[in-house]
Structure 1
Amino acid sequence: MGERKVLNKYYPPDFDPAKLPKGKRARDEQMKVRMMLPMSVRCNTCGNFMYKGTKFNTRMENVETENYLGIKVFRFYWRCTGCAAEFTIKTDPKNSDYSMEHGATRNYEPWREKEVVAAQTVQQREEEERGNAMKALENRTLDSKREMDIVQALDEQRSLNARHEQVTADQALAALKRTADGHESTELDPDDEEAIKRMLAQQGGFGVSWAWDSTVEQIVID
């Protein structure tokens, strides 16, 4: 078995590697590569679906006429598992992805569409801000406001969670029992009272005065 697998080779004592002719490789020579399908595709000839991760014996070649910032673009030749029709896929170094060339159709991938839209939005914003200081200042102001709103919402959520953590199971059961018996007090928490005041003050253009009782709340509108 060792000789069949050619694990060892015999070199005679008078062997001179300088006398060996140098092999020449054609520029457009194709290389056989075994790789997985990088995307889910459908054959345009027979309609067969081939899914991402399926292993194929492919032929790879360098696309001499294309490159991206000096990075080579490679083309892979595949064959459909249903009808043996050939289709090709190229590398896309610009987007760190692969692109379908011909012979098949790439399946729709919603997450990929979101990434493309996000990249286009960033590129459009950079083009708008290029040479326009006012637009750049406006975008930065909107970003700062958005960040402040997010931080404020997180602080409010943390405060609410902290208040909920202080309530024990016995207190929650006692509150439910009082509610069922009809003896639950209608007095609001000071924080909730202040929040309601601010909400009503923002909704109405008139003054609001409050008269709170131990058992019932009354709103008196001036």
Structure 2
Amino acid sequence: MNAVKVFLQTEPKVTVAPEQKLKIKDVASIFCTDKKIEKEILELEVHDISGKIKNDVIPALKIINVVHKYNENIDLEIMGDTEILVNIQGESSEWKLFSILKTALVCFILFLGAGLAIVNFHADVNMDKSLQIIYHMVTGEEKQKPLILLIPYSLGIGAGMTVFFNHLFQKKWKKEPSPLEVEMFMYEKNIDDYILDTTKHN
């Protein structure tokens, strides 16, 4: 009897509820010319979430073992990651009001920090003196506070940051991701790699 060819593509990360029994369809996609076998493989149980752990790892070898127990005459080809990170999330017990207050506090601290950084930068480079010199070069007059330069410059800082981060409006005018989105993606990827590595070794 000829072996049945099955292609299985694993997900790099899945989020599940506690005490959930994971089937292959929850962690991977499958293609097989025999749709009956494909449907049956998708329903095979591959992992059981138990205890109070927050993260778990499913190796691809475990999926291969489960499939071969179901049918030894299957030629299984694994594509994608060889290890699947399982993120276990229960219902949040955190109060909504507390979450809003915590977010507001973080935004306030970041606002103060960013403002302080901008003020210190302008103090270091003596921006007031620079604008006074530019105003004198253009108009021939000396002025302590050239508002005609200070006001557009201040507005330009905010507008420039908005354009740079490209994250103010839902519909973006640039197709590429913003620097903030790239940094968040790299941060989440590094966190997932760290969790995968520590969970696997523990």
What is the TM-score with the length of structure 2 in the denominator?
Answer: 0.26
Larger helix fraction of residues? 2
Structure possessing the higher radius of gyration over alpha carbons: 1
Larger strand fraction of residues? 1
What is the TM-score with the length of structure 1 in the denominator?
Answer: 0.25
